[in-house]
């Protein structure tokens, strides 16, 4: 099920390598950021989040880095696996309960 744009940036990595997906956000007042993973035919799934008072947060095999100076967010996936193949979206919270989503990056893992 195709669910993302034709011109989606694509990152292709070898299984076992580390992946880094980048995102530039727009609003310097945003105080909460989330990374979502969307597999084909499914809804976006929460991966990890970070608040603006932090610059790094680690989960299981994933790390999010936040650079507020340049309004940049990155998602690092360690030891990438075929099951990590999906589209990854960053989102920022800058107005109450509302999230603004980035355009997404497609991650392809080669076996």
Partner 1 sequence: DAGVIQSPRHEVTEMGQEVTLRCKPISGHNSLFWYRQTMMRGLELLIYFNNNVPIDDSGMPEDRFSAKMPNASFSTLKIQPSEPRDSAVYFCASWLAGGLGTQYFGPGTRLLVL
Distance CA 34, CA 93 (A): 8
Residue 60 CB neighbour total at 10 angstroms: 7
The span of 21-29, 56-64, 78-86, 97-105 binding partner 1 (CB under 8 A) equals: 97-105
Q: Is 83 in the site for partner 1 (CB under 8 A)?
A: no
Q: By rule CB under 8 A, what count of residues binds partner 1?
A: 23
Exposed, middle or buried: residue 23 (CB in 10 Å: 0-12, 13-18, 19+)? buried
Question: What letter does residue 101 receive in the DSSP assignment?
Answer: E
- With CB under 8 A as the contact rule, the residue among 62, 65, 78, 99 that binds partner 1 is 99
- With CB under 8 A as the contact rule, the residue among 53, 69, 97, 111 that binds partner 1 is 97
- State the nearest-atom distance from the C-beta of 36 to partner 1, in Å: 8
Residue 103: alpha-carbon gap to chain centroid: 10
**How does strand 62-67 pair with strand 72-77?**
antiparallel
Please give the residues from 14 up to 73 whose contact with partner 1 meets the rule CB under 8 A: 32, 34, 36, 42-46, 49
Q: Is 103 in the site for partner 1 (CB under 8 A)?
A: yes
Answer whether 51's CB lies under 8 Å from 32's CB: yes
Binding site for partner 1 (CB under 8 A): 1-6, 32, 34, 36, 42-46, 49, 89, 96-99, 101, 103-104
């Amino acid at each position: 099920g195709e669910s993302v744009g034709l011109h989606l940036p694509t990152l292709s990595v070898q299984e076992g390598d580390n992946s880094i997906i980048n995102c530039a956000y727009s609003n310097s007042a945003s105080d909460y950021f989330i990374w979502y993973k969307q597999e084909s035919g499914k809804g976006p799934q929460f991966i990890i989040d970070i608040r603006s008072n932090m610059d790094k947060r680690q989960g299981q095999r994933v790390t999010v880095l936040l650079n507020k100076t340049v309004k940049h967010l990155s998602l690092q996936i360690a030891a990438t696996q075929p099951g990590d193949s999906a589209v990854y979206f960053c989102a920022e919270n800058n107005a109450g309960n509302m999230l603004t989503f980035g355009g997404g990056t497609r991650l392809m893992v080669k076996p």
